[in-house]
A and B are shown apart, each in its own frame.
Chain A
Amino acid sequence: MSFQFTEEQIKRYSRHIILPEVGGKGQEKLLKSKVLVVGAGGLGSPALYYLAAAGVGTIGVVDFDVVDFSNLQRQILHNTSRVGMPKVESAKKTLEELNPDVKVVAYNEKIHKGNVLDIIKDYDIVLDGSDNFPTRFLVNDACYFLNKPLVSAAILRFEGQLTTFDYRDKENSPCYRCLFPEPPPPGLVPSCQEAGLLGVVGGIMGTLQANEALKLILDIGEPLVGKLLIFDALGTEFNVVKLRKDKKCPLCGENPKIKELIEYDQESCEIRF
């Protein structure tokens, strides 16, 4: 039996449905898909906004922070009246108001070794918009073990990085550790607050993360697998370099050393330069 759209849904998704690459079938896929976004901040805000608008049926959001005035320069899911509210609660409110078709599952907790597999296991795709290396390595390893595609983006100052790791096809997809084998040692890292960020860089990179997720769900175009996209806001330049699967990779190489989740304890968002 084919999917029955309501009249409101046909109007809401008409710009999608009219695209031959999406159509009613594609929209149905979106409504039935489940995407998890780690971090409801600078990257998560635009990513979540567009996923909800697109009608991704189930969206999980993980964040343990509360909305702060210093977030509002870029974290567009939140607003002034929500300062002090848990970010996931604020996100849920914004997204469900935008699109009642979307079920938002809020995880108001820190992601750690003990809960990461449980949180991720029911989702089709994971987007990483977290703000520190330990979470990035943990989410990467968990996605790898659970064969979940991971769309990873990171932002700092005037720069953004984006790539997709498709762990449904481990033979061909490199992993995060092929690029960066392990987190930098503690002490080499200033805080993100010190480093600063032009807010719109999160908007651009988070929106590109949503684009990757939508392509994966719809199975259209070319996902950014085996490629790292670098965005330079000052030059308005996008450059792409090749990512290769590293035979010596500690996670996905020929003789992997990492066979279970590892929790690193250092909170940091960049190495000290």
Chain B
Amino acid sequence: MAKVTVRIPTALRRVTQGQGEVQIEAETIAELIENLEKEFPGIKERLVDETGEIRKFVNFFVNDEDIRFLQGKETKLEEGAVVAIIPAIAGGAK
């Protein structure tokens, strides 16, 4: 299993007890999501929809590359990889 660093957006830190970065072991993004859920129950439903697909407004980047342009959920993770979870936000004026 590869140990990777996951960057958590501020909107999800309520689930990670305030942690902005967590270490998780996983071979793929799909497995990463499952293992995140074991450590931080409730995080999975925020990342994937009812059919198990990653929500359209959440993007995963592995070493700064969007997984939609790699192998999606099956993107392989190497030891020491950095996974960034980036949701759409729209705040600005109000």
Q: Measuring CB to CB, which residues of chain A are less than 8 angstroms from any residue of chain B?
A: 38-44, 63, 65, 71, 128-133, 136, 153-159, 161, 179-182, 184, 192-193, 195, 197, 202, 228, 230, 232, 234-235, 239-244, 246, 268-271, 273
Contact = CB atoms under 8 A, between A and B. Distances in A.
A42 B20 contact: no
Interface stretch (B22-30, B32-40, B58-66, B72-80): B58-66
Contact of B93 (A44, A195, A230): A44
B59 A270 contact: no
B89 to A, nearest CB: 4
B4 to A, nearest CB: 15
Nearest to A246: B68
Interface residues of B, number: 31
A241 B61 CA distance: 7
Q: Which of A40, A44, A71, A154 has the most CB of B within 10 A?
A: A154
Given A242-B66, A270-B88, A157 B93 contact: no
A181 B91 contact: no
Contact of A244 (B7, B66, B84, B91): B66
Contacts of B15: 273
B90 interface: yes
A243 B92 CA distance: 21
A155 B91 contact: yes
B65 A242 contact: yes
Given A270-B11, A271-B55, A273-B46, A43 B92 contact: yes
B12 interface: yes
A153 B21 CA distance: 23
Given A181-B56, A240-B64, A273 B90 contact: no
Given A130-B90, A131-B93, A239-B84, 19 more contacts: A39-B93, A42-B91, A44-B93, A130-B93, A131-B90, A155-B89, A157-B11, A159-B10, A159-B89, A179-B88, A182-B56, A184-B57, A197-B91, A241-B64, A242-B64, A243-B66, A246-B68, A271-B88, A273-B12
A239 B58 CA distance: 17
Contact of A131 (B20, B65, B94): B94
A159 B11 contact: yes
23 contacts: A38-B93, A39-B92, A40-B93, A43-B93, A65-B94, A71-B94, A130-B93, A133-B90, A156-B10, A156-B11, A157-B11, A184-B56, A197-B91, A232-B20, A234-B10, A235-B21, A241-B61, A241-B84, A244-B66, A246-B69, A269-B90, A270-B87, A271-B58
